Amino acid sequence: MPIKKYLLAGLLVWLPLAITVWVLMWLIGTLDSVFGSLLTGLGTVMPHSQDALLETLRAMHGLGVLMVLIGLLITGALVSNVAGRWWVKQWDRLFTHIPIVKSIYTSVKKVSDTLFSSNGNAFRKALLVQYPHAGAWTIAFQTGSPMGEVAEQLGEDYLSIYVPTTPNPTSGFFLMVKRSDVRELDMSVDQALTYVISMGAVAPDANAQPEPAAPPPSLPTKRN
């Protein structure tokens, strides 16, 4: 029916935008809530003459996002020099000596340093691997190579990979496979993620426009 067809077409247009707006609004609301809690804490120690200012700041939507961005920029500028790096080392030393917090903080820091390091190779290469059994192929991402005792047990010809689930790629499986058992892909990581999230419905080259065919050569006209 045309009505059903039009409804599906309209849904495909508006659904990505609606989900994007919803995620952004959730993020802004969360950061505003955290910033509002900080303002409430400041209100307990500041004089009552500043209550109007605090209420004005609390009513400004999106101010939490702005403060987070400013905080990240200031932090990045401070840790870019020798003195800032020294303070970061003291910060790390403090948290690595607190029970329970030590294991969580150390694990998260190692993962973040690996993922966001400009020299790292994590999530910079898309692969094709057989998973969950031979003959079944899926998209994976190289996260590095086995190290330490694991590397001694397996050898050097292994890769560490992450196999994401679909349609939520934030969960997945960590595997160590032979280098000869994977196939490197030319597609970018963004294209591979789109392919995974869409459950294979959106091909990596789906948006590429084919080049127009060259016009056939004109035949010479005969002269009488």
- Radius of gyration in angstroms for the set of CA atoms belonging to the chain, rounded to a whole number: 27
What pLDDT is stored for residue 50 in this prediction? 66
What rounded mean pLDDT belongs to the chain? 78
CB 142 within 8 A of CB 161: yes
Between 79-83, 174-178, 185-189, the lowest mean confidence (pLDDT) is in 79-83
- pLDDT, tens digit (0-9, with 9 covering 90-100), for 37-56: 777 777 777 776 666 777 77
Beta strand spans in the chain (E): 126-130, 137-144, 158-164, 172-178, 183-184
Residue-range domain boundaries for the chain: 2-66, 85-116, 126-197
State the helix-helix crossing angle for 82-95 and 101-116, rounded to 10 degrees. Answer: 140
Token pair 């939490």 is found at 64
Report the sign of the C-alpha dihedral through residues 138, 144, 145, 149, in that order: negative
Task: For residue 52, give both structure tokens.
Answer: 């109007």
pTM for this structure?
0.53
- pLDDT, tens digit (0-9, with 9 covering 90-100), for 154-180: 887 899 999 988 877 878 899 999 988
Distance from C-alpha of 97 to C-alpha of 99, rounded to nearest angstrom: 6
- φ, ψ of residue 38 to 5 degrees: the values are -65, -40
